[in-house]
Amino acid sequence: MPHLPSPHAAPAAARPTHAPTGATATARPLRHLFASTAGVLLIAGSLAGCVGGTPAPATTAPTPSSTPSATSTPAAGPTLVPGGTAAQNLPFFDKVNRATLAANPAAKGRDFIDALVAAGFDKSAMQLTVDTTTIGLAANSIQFSVKLGDTCLIGQNGADAGGYNSLTTPVLGTGGCLVGQTRAIDW
């Protein structure tokens, strides 16, 4: 960057016209370089104290550990809500059906119904679609339901369903939960 004269400087005629030579010419830029470097280092050193170093001790009181002790019981998962709605019981319905599939990935309708009954759902409130087509092939998916008051829990499993899915719906005008042909749950 060129050095511009100050507006208060002496007129050009009063200023010396000779440039410094020899050691003086080299010493001035080096002095400026050292002074600038020292200034940068001083600033950097003072900033380093702001961002690094040992953290200050905490001033808050320690909180109790949430690590379970040997006497604590594991958190209970979803449970059946007797007299509850489909929405209240959906987490438990899903838990039972996923456990059924974990135990038997090829579970059929009866497997789901039996597991739901064992878990406490009312068998007389259930519906189930057939496991096979009219020509005896395995159905691409099956549906099963539990009627709870005026709401339904509906589960579906199979390739056409992309695996297991569930939802809650209001009871149909027919009084049931599933549309179409269902099979008797007579075992």
Task: Provide the token pair at 165.
Answer: 């899915």
What are the tens digits of pLDDT across the range 15-69? Answer: 444 444 554 444 444 444 444 444 444 343 443 444 444 444 444 444 444 444 4
Task: Name which residue leads in pLDDT, 70 or 112.
Answer: 112
Angle separating helix axes 109-118 and 86-103, nearest 10 degrees: 120
In degrees and rounded to multiples of 5, residue 148 shows phi and psi of -125, 95
Identity of the residue numbered 141:
S
Residue of 67, 100, 93, 98 whose CA lies nearest to 79: 93
- CB contact at 8 A, 107 and 99: no
pTM (2 d.p.): 0.61
What are the tens digits of pLDDT across the range 89-134? Answer: 999 999 999 999 999 999 999 999 999 999 999 999 999 999 999 9
What are the tens digits of pLDDT across the range 128-183? Answer: 999 999 999 999 999 999 999 999 999 999 999 999 999 999 999 999 999 999 99
> Residue 10's pLDDT is what?
46
* Domain positions in the chain: 86-170
Q: What is the C-alpha to C-alpha distance for residues 97 and 184, in angstroms, rounded to an integer? A: 20
